[in-house]
Structure 1
């Protein structure tokens, strides 16, 4: 696998000189990193520049598992008609020395041979899964040369234990966009297998479209004065939560660090290569828990994360001891409460939507784009619970409170100000003082194909982040894929952690069935 790193480095040295051109077929749009239709040079947004810092040089990776072998010829044919019509994927990031070293987006010609990578795969492989793992690990040791648009697509006709026939690995530098926007763009390049002319549909949050005031306005019955009073209370709750979260955010940025645990990586971990591991579980099982407890899928995902991390830490703290089974009263976790928090990168601007991005690629229309990212610090419960559903209840209480806070908007504003006025490295200190990163992205509701290649599941992740652990949940039809990006010195056994996640979900499902059975017996009595 060392040949992969050498091959990618050779590709860099063989790159042709930068060729810059103007695109005349793209609509003009004024602003900085707001629109994706422009033929003018635009400066990178502060957030995009942040992702070029040595200690925050992050790449997003999306693993696409296909049910049929990849036809490379079709990929070469379709990419110019879709992805390359997005200006960020056909632009260079050039430093303008004449204007104080500002980085700008400059349109350029794209040579697909520099972006589509087809590795040599031995005809006989005893462990294809290991080959894929090592390939991803070695990929995380490399970067994309800035003399070309900062993305590439790796095509592997490799059959794995997931019973998939091929794998595609789309690697994109985080400066090109946030995770939500990039996932929407990827899905806009796909079509439903049952209707080749239709883009995928994803579940939407109707409340988010109602506007800020209506989201915090009381819409119940009663006289006008009662409605006004309830609205005032909800707005006050929003203000109070925001003030508390802002104070917590500032304390974290300045001095408040998480408890030192076996999964908290040391400073400098962002420079280490990452191991990637994933596990696909049933989305229907998560929906069962969601409906039984009247929560969201995100609450279930966070609940599973809290339960799995608690079991994993209990085992790590108890290494060398006899495993007699952990209970709420008897376990290996420290008696002192563990402060363990996750950093969520939130897209504070609503996504343009899949259809808008598809229209942009087909009709050269405008669509909003860019890294508009705010930080949210999410405290996670660490502890053994006799009732596994308690993890989901804790998650619901935490997320409900975070929904009624403007922490993400505040952190975006502060980070932008710090990037402009002070040393750019200070903007990511909230991440370095927390333990892990977390995200939960919504995928398609129906089976889709990427240029005719049917997708079995999607597994997004990243490397270059200042955490020893990144957890991503990604849905796709009736599957949920849990993806880990880990520093192997911090978490040497990511598959064991995935086992804990899967076992926790199973226990929650069994607890829901047991509760329903008990209620049924009570009703008959």
Structure 2
């Protein structure tokens, strides 16, 4: 039995009738040289062998009565792997458009909280004999880095696989009885006054270090940051309104693109930036073009939220969330690609210095202190009043997740590409996540269908922006 942290449980509270709390990814595979045909039976066999290495995959949620404390992961006594692994076949010709449409439907469906919070789909019928494996796992169980670590458990370095230690028979541990559970809750509640004093003292000590992060926003709200316009802003103002910062529906659109990491590094080296700066510059240019198409380009830059892993050596190999975030300006208001990249570079330096001032444990302590009943109530009020889309704290989440650097295989089939698929919420109707693998960056875009119906155009604009930056780099 393992208790969720407050941050883990917060992802449960974010689920509504229109938003889900899981993250996912699709592996596009070439099974032509696999030792055995990749079918549902083989995939079930391979994943079944790896489950002992990832205990949370056989655990379900145990809610604490009245939401007085964070829930627990407990062994599922009725675990059935065949429920979690399914097969879908695309009709001919098995195009990428058909694949993304099917994935949009699968990604929109919530996970069953009565069971372990994951599902895997084998998708056959793709053109050229390819297959795809789509997996979704609730964000309460993993973050981006632990998701990447989970993938390394499922993938192999050779088509033949690897030798695994003998698996012990799965004997689910009995969940605690109600009396034991309430005794745990009572002990935690008894400690709450002491925890309140400790948390308040910690917060007071850290307030000066948070000032650089808060002051730009406060200054903007009070109208104190009005310059003469001669200096390009690299500090945050209020997030401007865009078509994708509105209330979402249950429907999704998905788009994928891959670009050469060597091309991105060519731009990076020419302009003295980082790979992530180039990615942010690509996103700024693509979003500017899309917003212009829709006659919705704000005069001020967008605000981007960039998840940051704070997973240390002690947390490696463990599930759950170890994340912080930094906010950075996304200069969609500038029409020159080089200038956009320059501003992104300076803005991320500012964001990194501000993010570094946030104590790693402070967010965890605050989120863990609030009981789930209160967290859920606050979330319901925020969604019901429209706060999330009327006053969005940022416009878009852009996440860069590390991936394997060598050829890898799943059930004997060679991995060609892995496209991530993340979460959207009211006020955050568009998400861009990318994964690096074998010399390429694979972008996965997820959006509300009604807010961004032409997400394919936006994905194409990412590639167009990289080409513009390559031309600028060549000119240099």
Question: Same fold per TM (> 0.5)?
Answer: yes
- Aligned-residue offset at 1:495: 1.1
Q: Any residues of structure 2 matched to 1:6-45 within 5 Å, and which?
A: 41-45=1-5
Cα displacement (A) at 1:100: 3.6
The answer on whether the counterparts of 1:180 and 1:441 sit within 8 Å (CA) in structure 2 is: yes
**Counterpart in the other structure of 2:307:** 345
Deviations 1:294-353 (A, max 9, x none): 3221111011111111122222218xxxxxxxxxxxxxx55xx32411222322223669
Match of 1:130? 97
Name the structure 2 match of 1:286: 264
Aligned to 1:393: 342
Alignment of 1:171 with 2:136, yes or no, is yes
2-structure distance, mates of 1:459, 1:370: 21
Ranked by relative contact order (alpha carbons within 8 Å, sequence separation 6 or more), the top structure is 2
Return 5+ residue gaps in structure 2 as ranges. Answer: 32-36, 165-205, 224-236
State the match for 1:82 in structure 2. 50
User: Residue 414 and residue 101 in structure 1: after superposition, are their counterparts in 2 closer, same or farther (change >3 A)?
Assistant: closer
1:274 matched to 2:245? no
- CA 1:97–1:383: 2 relative to 1, 3 Å: closer
Aligned with residue 471 of structure 1, among 432, 453, 461:
432
TM-score for both structures, normalised by structure 1: 0.69
Q: Which 10-residue stretch deviates more, 252-261 or 451-460? A: 252-261
Tell me, yes or no, if the aligned pair for 2:420 and 2:443 is still in contact at 8 Å: no
Q: Unpaired runs of 5+ in structure 1?
A: 1-40, 200-237, 319-332, 357-366, 516-525
1:265 alignment counterpart: 245
CA distance in 1 between counterparts of 2:252 and 2:221 reads: 25
The question of 1:417 aligning with 2:376 is answered no
Distance 1:159 1:60 in 2: 23
Aligned partner of 1:373 among 323, 344, 351? 323
- Counterpart of 2:61? 93
What displacement does 1:508 show? Answer: 0.7
SS in structure 2 at match of 1:192: coil
Q: 1:70 aligns to what?
A: 38
* Residue 520 (structure 1) aligns with: none
How far does the alpha carbon of each residue in 1:169-207 deviate from its partner, in whole angstroms, 9 at most, with x for none? Answer: 0011111111111112212322224996699xxxxxxxx
Q: Does the 8 Å CA contact 2:5/2:364 hold for their aligned counterparts?
A: no
Task: Work out whether residues 246 and 410 of structure 1, in 8 Å CA contact, stay in contact via their aligned partners in 2.
Answer: no
Report deviation, 1:291: 2.1
| C-alpha deviation, 1:471, in angstroms | 0.5
What pairs up with 1:326-345 in 2 under 5 angstroms? 333=297, 337-345=299-307
Instruction: Confirm or deny that 1:456 pairs with 2:416.
Output: yes
Match in the other structure for 2:184: none
Q: What is the Cα deviation at residue 483 of structure 1?
A: 1.3
Q: 1:383 deviation in Å?
A: 2.5
The answer to whether the Cα contact below 8 Å between 1:70 and 1:453 also exists between their aligned partners in 2 is: yes
Distance across 1 between alignment mates of 2:26 and 2:440: 15
- Contact residue 245 and residue 407 of structure 1 kept, 8 A: no
Q: Is the 8 A contact 2:251 2:450 kept in 1?
A: no
Do the aligned partners of 1:352 and 1:369 also contact (CA within 8 Å) in 2?
Answer: no
Q: Does 1:484 align with 2:426?
A: no
Deviation at 1:414, TM superposition (A): 4.1
Q: Does 1:503 align with 2:464?
A: yes
RMSD between superposed Cα atoms in Å: 3.4
Shift of 1:497: 0.8
- TM-score for both structures, normalised by structure 2: 0.75
The match for 1:311 is: 289
Cα 1:120–1:495 shift into 2, 3 Å: closer
In 2, distance between residues paired with 1:198 and 1:394?
Answer: 50
2:28/2:417 contact within 8 Å kept = yes
Once the two structures are TM-superposed, the CA of residue 472 in structure 1 deviates from its matched residue by: 0.9
Q: Cα distance 1:352–1:411, how it changes in 2: closer, same or farther (>3 A)? A: closer
What is the deviation of 1:369?
A: 3.4
Task: Return the alpha-carbon distance in structure 1 between the equivalents of residues 280 and 57 of structure 2.
Answer: 33
